[in-house]
A = this chain, B = another copy of it.
Amino acid sequence: MEVGKTGYVILGMLYKGPKSGYEIKAKADVSTRFFWAISYGQIYPELRRLEQAGLIEGEADAGNGRQRRVFSITASGEDALREWLKRPGELHSELRHEGVLRLFFADALDRDERIELLNQIRVKHTRMREELAGIEPAATALAEETGDAMPLLTLETGIAYQQFFVDQCDRLERRLAETESTTGGS
């Protein structure tokens, strides 16, 4: 029984406390989403697989009347999580970035349109950076409360990541201005 990457996200979330599938999604949407998104279509089947494998335990929570199943991580679930965190070898990573893709083909555009595209990309990453910065106070509070430093450090990595693209847009705009003033003079 193999555990997929999504399975480890679930294990990681449950390591910090029992949760329903809905809560797992909600937590992921304000944290791991920015570097590893998950969807209901993965969560519910994966919860069943993980339970079958004995890595988590589900319990019907009739406490407040609403129908829900709350899952907890088991001892072997914690082992599997730590094994994955320490596993050597290739770390999968991929990027899908429509802005850079358009830039790659942007020789088909004229000067002003290229600058406009660059602006579009910069605006997008500026917005993303601000969205992440908005989460920071809550993440700082949670870090002090739980003593866990890594979620906050990854959030800051996310903010720096967005800033990288903003800066890169600035650099590219300067580069384009140089090139075009020498070769594109009418």
Contacts and interface: CB of A to CB of B under 8 A. Distances in A.
A104 B179 contact: no
Interface in A22-48: 31-32, 34-37
Interface in A143-162: 148-151, 153-154, 157-158, 160-161
A101 interface: yes
Interface stretch (A49-57, A64-72, A82-90): A82-90
Contact of A95 (B9, B35, B78, B151): B35
A77 to B, nearest CB: 11
Interface string A97-131: 11111111111110001101100110010000000
Nearest to A171: B160
Interface residues of A, number: 62
Contacts of A107: 148-151
Contact of A93 (B36, B124, B148): B124
B82 A109 contact: yes
B99 A91 contact: yes
A98 B150 contact: no
A117 B85 contact: yes
Nearest to A114: B150
